[in-house]
Amino acid sequence: MINDKYKGLVAERMKSSFDEWASRPFVEEQEIYRFLHNLKGTAGTIGLFEIEQEADHKLLLFSDASTRPFTFSEWSELLKSLLVYIPVQLMETTPLQSNDETYESAVLNETFGKRILIIDDDVDLAAYLKAILEERGYPVHIALTAERGLKLFYDWKPDMILLDILLPDKNGLVVLKQIVEKSHQEHSPIIVMSTKDTIEQRIHVYRIGAMDFFAKPIDQDLFLALIENRFKIKQQWERSIIVDELTGAYNRKHFNRMIKELIASFGRTGQQFTVIIMDLDHFKGVNDTYGHVMGDEVLRVFAQTVLSTKREGDIFCRYGGEEFALLLPNTGKEQVSDFVQRIRYHFSTHTFTTGDQRFQVTFTAGVTESHSNNAHAEKLVEEADQALYWGKESGRNKTVLYTPGMNSEGKEQKLNIIIVDDDPLIREIVVSHLKQWMPNRNLQVLVSSYEDGIQFLESDWYSEQHKYVILLDGAMPTMDGVDVLTKVRNEYPERNIVVAMLTARTNQTDIIYALQHGADDYIIKPFQMTELLSRVERLVQKLFK
């Protein structure tokens, strides 16, 4: 096929550029940027979508307007994730000579890609599989024993594991049990291979947690099709983990990852970036007046407005509820006003219609930029959040740039503690103790209670300017506590709210389920009030850290 020819040329061009750069004392930043920009366009055109995505990801670290010199150790460290796409035979033809590292070592240390670990004591078969996989660009390591396989699994962190059942030092099923939980966490498929192909064996392997069972002898075409298929599924899994299903924006997890990468780049290169936190104005009123279906439509329209307005390299995320975040690489805060104004114009002029009712929605934005005193994620978000707070307090529907005078230190802040529990005695005891509690900070504490989740959710309990500790009973009539928790996490900004479950459920599965759905703590009934107050103090520290 014609694309196969061009795919090979892309790999050769990448290798040629890296070799040529390695012969120089340094490479200018704008040259690296142009290389990545061209690579992204070419790779996407001929169907190399993973290379396209990786080049797009790396573009965020460089500027096309900078001539800053990058030494070999600097640029090779930043671009080493691209080396996994250069076939091994190309690397072996003209190995890169350097005092810092080689292509080979960069590939072995790379943590992203399609790396396969084969654990099989059949030397000939393992070598054969390695050869046919590496011909197709998969980096492969071989382990002939269980001990070596386990070491490579934990040290090399493969993206897929091919595991034989019969090993010289340990049964392969024992190895499977040892690695299955971590491989699931990393979304790394395990394919068990064996000559013992029985229904009982397959059932046992699947129940332990392997994704596939492949019978020996190996059919090459079927084997390669399976590998390709499983990597496509893995890629879809990983995309679903970082993309918000409702809006199509990236999610909070991806925001946390990308802001750390931009901070690291800022520390290395001094390249400034900007953080924008945007919050839809009076969004609760939209849900209350027009319903949650229309509220979801507002969120989708806002997200699409930003996605169609932002630059290619900007990172747009749903931060929580009706709150969104934008990361703008190579941008100072003074440059963003016109950009946010364009978003504001397009969104605020959109008319939403439900039945015979028509309405419009606005948003408020808080903006800060990276500098030496806020070089960690929490501080940057706190500054953008302070600017957002000032925008809300001064009338909403505006963009506010952060200044140091906005810091809230010394001001009394409002903390709401809400108890949601169907047991009236529990509510009375907890409320009476919390009203007497004196926190170790300058806070005005407001305590309230609700007898069930529906009463709580339908109340006018939330204010954008307050912080909240919610003590939520896990088992209530009409609406389970975890369902209430899920609605709180989906509909309100996470930064303002911490939740502790109060429940007699001691089953480990229930606890894990609640924590996975957004609970910050899990307090088992019966409890001592001294213990509860201690937990509340820790939750407050988390809110105001």
CATH fold, domain 252-406, is Alpha-Beta Plaits (3.30.70)
What per-residue confidence (pLDDT) applies to 191?
96
Whether residue 441 is predicted with pLDDT greater than 80 in this model: the reply is: no
Whether residue 303 is predicted with pLDDT greater than 90 in this model: the reply is: yes
What per-residue confidence (pLDDT) applies to 407?
61
Cα 3–chain centre separation? 33
Q: Where are the domains of the chain?
A: 2-101, 116-242, 252-406, 413-543
**Distance in angstroms (rounded) separating the CA atoms of residues 293 and 352:** 12
Closest among 504, 502, 510 to 539, alpha carbons compared: 502
Per-residue pLDDT reduced to its tens digit, 261-273: 888 888 877 888 9
Per-residue pLDDT reduced to its tens digit, 519-541: 888 888 888 888 888 888 888 88
Structure tokens at 422: 């169907």
SS3 371: coil
The reply to whether 413-543 shares the fold of 252-406 is: no
User: 408 vs 457, which has greater pLDDT?
Assistant: 457
Q: Give the CATH number of domain 116-242; options: 3.40.50.2300, 3.40.50.720, 2.115.10.20, 3.40.605.10.
A: 3.40.50.2300
Alpha helices, DSSP H, located in 335-480: 337-348, 377-393, 424-436, 453-458
**Distance in angstroms (rounded) separating the CA atoms of residues 299 and 285:** 14
Closest among 432, 77, 17 to 261, alpha carbons compared: 77
What per-residue confidence (pLDDT) applies to 6?
67
Whether residue 105 is predicted with pLDDT greater than 50 in this model: the reply is: no
**Distance in angstroms (rounded) separating the CA atoms of residues 264 and 187:** 26
What per-residue confidence (pLDDT) applies to 499?
93
Structure tokens at 544: 């105001």
The pTM of this model reads 0.53
Highest mean pLDDT among 2-11, 170-179, 327-336, 420-429: 170-179
Cα 309–chain centre separation? 23
So what's the architecture of 413-543 in CATH?
3-Layer(aba) Sandwich (3.40)
Confidence of residue 99 (pLDDT cuts 50, 70, 90): very low
Closest among 458, 453, 487 to 471, alpha carbons compared: 453
Residues 414, 444 contacting (CB under 8 angstroms): yes
**Distance in angstroms (rounded) separating the CA atoms of residues 543 and 469:** 8
Q: Where is average pLDDT lowest: 32-36, 45-49, 209-213, 402-406?
A: 45-49
Confidence of residue 410 (pLDDT cuts 50, 70, 90): very low
- Range 227-238 average pLDDT: 87
Residue whose entry in the numeric block shows the structure tokens 């003590």: 471
Ramachandran angles phi, psi of 514, nearest 5°: -65, -40
Residue whose entry in the numeric block shows the structure tokens 């596939």: 212
What per-residue confidence (pLDDT) applies to 106?
40
Nearest-10 crossing angle of helices 29-45, 49-59: 150
